[in-house]
A = this chain, B = another copy of it.
Amino acid sequence: MNKARVEAFTDAVVAIIMTIMVLEFKTPESPQWTAILHEGPYLFAFGVSFVFIAVAWYNHHYMFSLAERISKRVYWLNIGWLFAMSLLPVATAWAGRYLQARGPEYFYLLVFFLWSKTYLYLSVAIANDLDATNTEKAARLRQMPIFRFLRGWRLPAETTAVAVIVYFYPPSCLLITLSELVYMAIHTTPDSDRVS
């Protein structure tokens, strides 16, 4: 498919998901400055999800720069990844409103897990397509730290561990997610911002 058009469409959807989360940042009903403090927990969750999408976009940008063609299979996996991401605004709003409750935090964890899985399938499909045309690029894609993190036993192991911790202290869900995102933001292949 026309890679530029698929990228532009994907970017538009990602940009909208990123930005409509701000609609849940409710305007305070009171003119008291303390009223804005009630939005603190949501602001924190919004910040985490903003970083989430920024990390996702950064890696998607690098991965698509490696891709030589967008096959129908890759297109549909990309749509699946966007669908998983489109659940993020609700998960963020719910988790931000009830930081101390298990249900909303587990839902956020589930969305993070779904997003990770769809991202992994997308990566694998692009790498497999590259195997046929450019093995060097396929290798570079498989070298991406996010790819290695999501592929192995680490993701299910870690998700299980987080699930246990969240049972005892729900706000840890967003805190641990943020740590993982910061880790993913820092650990990228050196050439990841050198594509042109």
Contacts and interface: CB of A to CB of B under 8 A. Distances in A.
Given A5-B61, A22-B90, A31 B98 contact: yes
Nearest 3 A/B pairs, CB to CB: A33-B103, A31-B101, A12-B15
- Count of identical protomers in the assembly: 4
Interface string A16-59: 11111011111110011111100100000001001100100110
A2 B65 contact: yes
Interface of A: 1-3, 5-9, 11-20, 22-28, 31-36, 39, 47, 50-51, 54, 57-58, 61-62, 65, 69-72, 75-76, 79, 83, 86-87, 89-90, 93-94, 97-98, 100-104, 106-107, 185, 188, 192-196
A12 B5 contact: no
A65 B58 CA distance: 21
Nearest to A62: B1
B32 A22 contact: no
A30 to B, nearest CB: 8
A27 B87 CA distance: 11
Given A8-B8, A61-B1, A31 B195 contact: no
A27 B94 contact: yes
Contacts of A194: 1, 69
Nearest to A54: B79
A34 B104 CA distance: 10
Given A1-B62, A54-B79, 7 more contacts: A2-B65, A17-B22, A22-B86, A23-B23, A69-B194, A70-B193, A71-B193
